[in-house]
Amino acid sequence: MDEGGDDAIQLFKPGKRKRAAAVLKGEKHSKAKSDAKAGGALPEDAEQQQQQPVRALGEASTSGQEQQQQQKQDDDDEEERSFKDLGLSDWLCGVLSTLGIARPTPVQRGCIPAVLAGRDVIGTAQTGSGKTAAFALPILQRLAKDPYGVFALVLTPTRELAVQLAEQFRAFGAGMNLRECVVIGGVEQQQQAKQLARRPHVVIATPGRLAELIATDDGISRGFSRTRFLVMDEADRLLDPTFEAPLRTILAALPGEDRQTLLFSATMTQALVKLQAERLAGAHVFQAYTGLQTAERLRQEYVFVPAKVKEVYLYHLLEGMGALGVRSAIVFVGTCRGCQLLGLLLRELGLPCAELHSGKSQRDRLSALNAFKSEAVPLLLATDVASRGLDIPTVDLVVNFDLPVAARDYVHRVGRTARAGRRGWSLSFVTQYDVDLVHAIEALLGQQLAAHEMPEEEVLKGITRVYAAKRRAALDAIDLDRRGGGGGRGGARAKRSVGGGGGGGGGGGGGGGGGGGGGGDGGGGGGGGSGGAGAKRSGGGGGGGGRAGDAKREKAPSSKRAKKSGGEGAGS
């Protein structure tokens, strides 16, 4: 992805932003500091260090202690800063107090003043760190002073994240008659065109659908001619070549000058670094960390599982969630079809769950997500469409039933738990075919995952029940395919399915290929994974497979698993 972002980067014009003197006080001084920091990449304390006199060698030890003490004092002072200290208005501070948000997080402290000052911003911080408020709050403050539409455009790679961002804008903008509009695929297009024609203050969109509306309606295109803010949330994903065509259409409708560009991401990729150097040289850069990190209070573990009995191990784990103190869990699956089949299996086993993948209609996807967020169901089965940005504070456990092919996606997946300082647990299932994948994850993290032991004898007691349920689930899948995704075998099982009928598309029987394409949110791309692996997982009985101890932690001779885990289309 990093290597392929060059074309997307070229879409951004060099920074020739006009800044009003009332906004940028001391413009010459700010420009001099910006030049000295090489485009904002140097932190503020580096400037101060450049101005300090050089100490004699004999004073080195004392100097180090003084600097450490001063740094600690600076950090303590920084943590004590309030939202008002950052420049937010009293009414916004009151809203935050009502929402129970007392102190700004590091990314909010690092970015809000720069946005209020009129600067372009690139902000990176780990998931659950409050990035949304870092751009939403200053945008709303500026909007309150000069309300018009379309004032701000927020782009995001997934539909669910767009809906969530709109909810947060509504919460922060309570009392100011905010008009926001969500533009995503899977929803009736004509209604969205009518909403855009009314010139909402804030538009939150996935690139594919918005580009389609802009390209087919000159009135909608003109509505973005005075847009003051462009926000790209999950910017590392949006700079993927998949989004290049819709981004080109969207950026052509936006003003080239007098517009602030705000890029936020959980990771600082090479594409973002290159974009800053070539197109946003004057941007303020905030980086909460270097490289990829997971939350400090996240317990990361793996368990070796023979591929033939993965579902048996998963059933044992999920059935005992209560005894483990786990109230809710997200189970990540590699393909849409695999997600659908696993959902059918778990419901056959009496475990209520919701499914979230691009093979479902948008209404069913939102229904599934809301059921999980409201704790109506304790389990959410999902593909990587749910791995980024979604803020569900009560997730106790993330299970990687299928390991992601890209190690970076692991970080995004496990970021759904241990958010905002809470504790969390992630457990990755590692089969004999996944050793290379887990090694890549550990190399990226710079640490080894801890081994989690599951009592094999106890686990395999459920093998007969699970295999019988797999046979029934395979028949349910055939019925779903014949009915076009609408229903299933037996009314009781159909009622247990949360979030609407199946989805999943693909060929008949337990085999078929991955689910549908995602409805044009981000320039095409559909479905997931090869049919062969799905067919093997959906097959009926058979022997119990090898013992857990047979899965040696050695490099596998081949990795057929990587071919299976196809992922989902962009913007699905």
pLDDT tens for residues 25-75? 344 344 444 444 434 443 344 344 344 443 333 344 444 455 445 444 545
Q: How does DSSP classify residue 385? A: G
99 φ, ψ (degrees, to nearest 5): -80, -5
570 band by pLDDT with thresholds 50, 70 and 90 = very low
Question: What span, in angstroms and rounded, lies between the C-alpha atoms of 225 and 216?
Answer: 16
| CATH 3.40.50.300 location in the chain | 3-9+26-42+105-287, 298-547
| Residue 71 pLDDT | 44
Q: What is the DSSP letter of 56?
A: P
Question: Once rounded to an integer, what is the mean pLDDT over residues 195-204?
Answer: 97
Q: Is the pLDDT of residue 330 over 50?
A: yes
Residue 20, exposed/middle/buried by CB under 10 A (0-12, 13-18, 19+)? exposed
The label of the residue with tokens 């909403």 reads 195
One-letter amino acid for residue 69 of the chain: Q
- pLDDT recorded at residue 524: 40
Higher pLDDT, 207 or 540: 207
Q: Is the pLDDT of residue 246 over 60?
A: yes
DSSP-assigned beta bridge partners for residue 181: 203
Q: Is the pLDDT of residue 543 over 80?
A: no
Residue type, 568: E
Cβ atoms of 336 and 503 within 8 Å: the answer is yes
User: How many Å apart are CA 37 and CA 269, to the nearest integer?
Assistant: 20
pLDDT of residue 151: 98
Residues 110 and 286: beta-carbon distance below 8 Å: yes
Of the candidates 499, 497, 510, 502, the one whose C-alpha atom is nearest the C-alpha of residue 467 is: 510
Using one digit for the tens of pLDDT, what is the confidence trace for 134-184?
999 999 999 999 999 999 999 999 998 999 899 999 999 988 999 999 999
Domain range 3-9+26-42+105-287, CATH architecture: 3-Layer(aba) Sandwich (3.40)
The answer to whether residues 521 and 185 touch, using CB atoms and an 8 Å cutoff, is yes
Structure tokens at 189: 């297009």
Burial class (CB in 10 A: 0-12, 13-18, 19+), 28: exposed
Q: Is the pLDDT of residue 443 over 80?
A: yes
What proportion of the chain, given as a percentage, has pLDDT over 90? 48
Residue 5 per-residue DSSP state = G
Maximum CA pair distance of the chain?
83
Q: Which of 393, 366, 371 is nearest to 182 (CA)?
A: 366
- According to the model, what pLDDT value does residue 21 have? 33
- 349 vs 361, which has greater pLDDT? 349
Mean pLDDT across 261-290: 82
pLDDT category of residue 480 using cuts at 50, 70 and 90: confident
Structure confidence at residue 5 (pLDDT)? 54
Residue 281 pLDDT grade (very low, low, confident, very high; cuts 50, 70, 90): confident
Tokens of residue 204, six digits? 């939150």
Mean pLDDT of 364-391: 87
Structure tokens given for 521: 């949110």
pLDDT computed for residue 474 by the predictor = 92
Query: How much is the mean pLDDT over the chain?
Result: 77
Phi, psi of 486 (to 5 degrees): -105, 70
Q: Among residues 434, 438, 470, 473, which one has the least CA distance to residue 544?
A: 470
| pLDDT of 106 higher than 80 | yes
Residue among 159, 174, 239, 172 at smallest CA distance from 204: 159
CATH number of 298-547: 3.40.50.300
Residue 191 has pLDDT above 90, yes or no: yes
pLDDT recorded at residue 378: 95
- Please report the pLDDT score of residue 275 as a whole number: 82
Strands 284-287, 260-265: pairing is unpaired
179 touches 218 (CB < 8 A) = no
Q: Where does residue 549 rank: exposed (0-12), middle (13-18), buried (19+ CB within 10 A)?
A: exposed
Q: Which residue did the predictor score with more confidence, 116 or 537? A: 116
Q: Answer yes or no: are the C-beta atoms of 424 and 297 closer than 8 Å.
A: yes
Reply yes or no on whether the pLDDT at 556 is more than 60: no
Token pair 């050695």 is at which residue?
554
Give how far Cα 95 sits from Cα of 99, 137, 173, 541, Å: 6, 10, 8, 57
Q: What is the pLDDT of residue 134?
A: 96
The C-alpha atoms of residue 147 and residue 163 are separated, in whole angstroms, by 22
pLDDT of residue 201 exceeding 80: yes
Helix (H, G, I), strand (E, B) or coil at 380: strand
Of the pLDDT bands very low, low, confident and very high (cuts 50, 70, 90), residue 479 is: confident
d(CA 57, CA 50): 18
Encoded tokens for 463 = 């093998």
Report how far residue 147's alpha carbon sits from residue 170's, in angstroms, rounded to the nearest whole number. 15
